[in-house]
Amino acid sequence: MFSSAVAWCSIAVASAGTPDLGWELLVTTAPETTARTCVDAPGLPDYLQGRYIVSGPARFETDNYKFQAIFDGFGKMNRFEVGGGSLCYTSAWLNTTFARESEKRGQAAGMIFEETIPPRSCPLTDPMCNMNVPGDNDWVNLIQIGDDTCLLTDATQMLKIDLETFETHDFKVWADDFTPSVGGGLGPVPSWLKSGHIGTAGSAHPTRRAGTNTYVDVLSEMGPVPGQSSFIDVYTFDASKAGPQNRTLVSRVKAKKTPYLHSFGVTPNYIILPINHAMAIPDMLHPTLMGGIVEHWEGVSVLDKDNKLHKFDTDPFYHFHVVNSFENATGVTMDVGAFDKTPVQKSGFMDIAMFLNKTVRDTNPIRNVVRRLHFHFSGPQTGEVTTEDFDQVADSASDLFRIHPGYEGMPYCIYYAMQWWADGENMASMAVVKHNVCTGVKTLWQQPNTYPGEPEMVPGPSGAEEDGVVMFLALDGEKRKSKLVILDAETFTELEVMELPSHIPFTAHGRFVPPAEGQSMVV
Ligand SMILES: [Fe+2]
């Protein structure tokens, strides 16, 4: 069914003798900020107007200490203003509680992925000084709710930011905000959180119900009695509504351990929750996420439109990202980047030293497949899960999946992703892949010693799945600078490339933000 064919665009064989040139720049502190810089971009379609925002960790050490984990780096934002025949680039450091408190203390503040070098210490009078700092190094993702632009990580709060000035404000205010007596230093939680419970994590991927302005989100609840009273809370909010609003609790799904869920599936009638990670009680003196987020398989919980819970079991898998979910005649399907061991561990993906060691990173066993799981709600296999892995280059891996936003939660054919080990041997052999899962055809964008980030699909006016552009950052390891690449989504040919003045390290999810209704971008 999923036979494979590959089309090649802008492809060249990796340069012999210069393996992985400039790879280290992905984890090398970026230069200071770039003031607004513009270039002509006559190749862009007229409909493409807005701001492309993509952020990531970009400062990995200070005079006093250095981070060991890539994701711990201080966040930096990159903004591209697109429209009117021009592209303008500006960058700014993220002003967060994490950055401010770390600066004040002279050491990293709060929960981080790995302990710093040298390790942090707290005063004797406050030995758990890192347990009460909100986690807001929010370079992971972005969402617009009413008039608010909010930055996201897997925390219980969203950080408001002005995309014009880069000024950060307070956390997004909700009408049902409540500051509990336990864990209140981490910020307010929804008032429906059970008394005595701690909201330990949120998700950086609130997901829209297709055809609505309603977003589904989750919150992990750690109960006071381990093993008996932890939940993944599922709630919704209206992304078109300005100002404070209540979060509507949809369901409180009981779990044996406190779940951790980076992303999940949403269709018009179902919410799909793979419960495959748990949050351990952290070392209060040196709280870290690596080792604090552990493998924990409880199967897949699916909520139907009546909020009835259906539990499915299948072979355990671990995931960061869902590709897409949709319904068909016999149930609901979820495509997901599936690992056979957790990717939340010290490996060449997340640890700076291991990322920089070519032998270690090239032999990293933590690689995923894109797996289709079908949860049967009717027919002879009701209650069962059937699975199928899509064809891919042996030993490759891919992640940061995106699709045409009009097809989210709906039947679809095409996803875009960044790929490692595209040659099956070298992690740094990277590509942007367009995979048509209906036909099996794959199309690649790949250049030697060039390391792309997540591909964002911005739709064109027709609504057709391939009408639009695909844009992403790519670090050119030979020029030691990054560039913005904009491809035609159908042909994968380059429409525009904007070379930037310096390198941008690893980045996470980019978001294209259209101008407010009735306005156009003049840059
Ligand atoms: Fe993510």
Q: In angstroms, what is the span from residue 321 Cα to ligand 1's centroid?
A: 6
CB of 204 closer than 8 Å to CB of 141: yes
Q: In angstroms, what is the span from residue 125 Cα to ligand 1's centroid?
A: 37
Q: In angstroms, what is the span from residue 509 Cα to ligand 1's centroid?
A: 7
Q: In angstroms, what is the span from residue 140 Cα to ligand 1's centroid?
A: 7
Q: In angstroms, what is the span from residue 414 Cα to ligand 1's centroid?
A: 19
Amino acid identity for residue 229 in this structure: S
Q: In angstroms, what is the span from residue 320 Cα to ligand 1's centroid?
A: 6
Q: In angstroms, what is the span from residue 153 Cα to ligand 1's centroid?
A: 8
Distances (CA, A) of 250 to 219, 240, 286: 11, 19, 35
Amino acid 16: pLDDT: 44
How many angstroms separate the CA atoms of 51 and 515, rounded? Answer: 8
Q: Write the secondary structure of 20-32 as one string of H (helix), E (strand) and C (coil).
A: CCCHHHHHCCCCC
Q: In angstroms, what is the span from residue 31 Cα to ligand 1's centroid?
A: 25
Partners of 459 in beta bridges:
468
Q: Roughly how many angstroms between the first and final C-alpha of the chain, as a whole number? A: 47
Q: In angstroms, what is the span from residue 75 Cα to ligand 1's centroid?
A: 15
Q: In angstroms, what is the span from residue 193 Cα to ligand 1's centroid?
A: 24
Amino acid 483: pLDDT: 98
Q: In angstroms, what is the span from residue 387 Cα to ligand 1's centroid?
A: 23
CB of 370 closer than 8 Å to CB of 335: yes
Q: In angstroms, what is the span from residue 212 Cα to ligand 1's centroid?
A: 22
Q: In angstroms, what is the span from residue 356 Cα to ligand 1's centroid?
A: 22
Q: In angstroms, what is the span from residue 18 Cα to ligand 1's centroid?
A: 31
How many angstroms separate the CA atoms of 435 and 453, rounded? Answer: 16
How many angstroms separate the CA atoms of 338 and 399, rounded? Answer: 10
Secondary structure of residue 97 in the 3-state scheme? helix
Amino acid 227: pLDDT: 61
Q: In angstroms, what is the span from residue 157 Cα to ligand 1's centroid?
A: 16
**Edge to edge, what strands does the sheet with 141-145 contain?**
141-145, 148-152, 159-161, 168-171
Place of tokens 């758990």: 128
How many angstroms separate the CA atoms of 141 and 206, rounded? Answer: 10
Closest of 276, 432, 282 to residue 343, by C-alpha:
276
pLDDT in tens, the chain (523 residues): 333 444 544 444 444 445 899 999 999 999 989 999 999 999 999 999 999 999 999 999 999 999 999 999 999 999 999 998 999 999 999 999 999 999 999 999 999 999 999 999 999 999 999 988 888 899 999 999 999 999 999 988 899 999 999 999 889 999 999 987 766 667 889 999 988 888 889 999 999 999 999 999 999 998 877 666 899 999 999 999 999 999 999 999 999 999 999 999 999 999 999 999 998 877 888 889 988 899 999 999 999 999 999 999 999 999 999 999 999 999 999 999 999 999 999 999 999 999 999 999 999 999 999 999 999 999 999 999 999 999 999 999 999 999 999 999 999 999 999 999 999 999 999 999 999 999 999 999 999 999 999 999 999 999 999 999 999 999 999 999 999 999 999 999 999 999 999 999 999 999 999 987 656 555 4
Q: In angstroms, what is the span from residue 398 Cα to ligand 1's centroid?
A: 13
Amino acid 357: pLDDT: 97
Amino acid 88: pLDDT: 98
Amino acid 159: pLDDT: 93
- Please state the length of the chain: 523
Q: In angstroms, what is the span from residue 150 Cα to ligand 1's centroid?
A: 15
Q: In angstroms, what is the span from residue 378 Cα to ligand 1's centroid?
A: 32
CB of 170 closer than 8 Å to CB of 161: no
- In CATH, what number does 5-513 get? 2.130.10
Distances (CA, A) of 27 to 58, 91, 111, 450, 455: 7, 17, 20, 14, 20
Domain ranges of the chain: 5-513
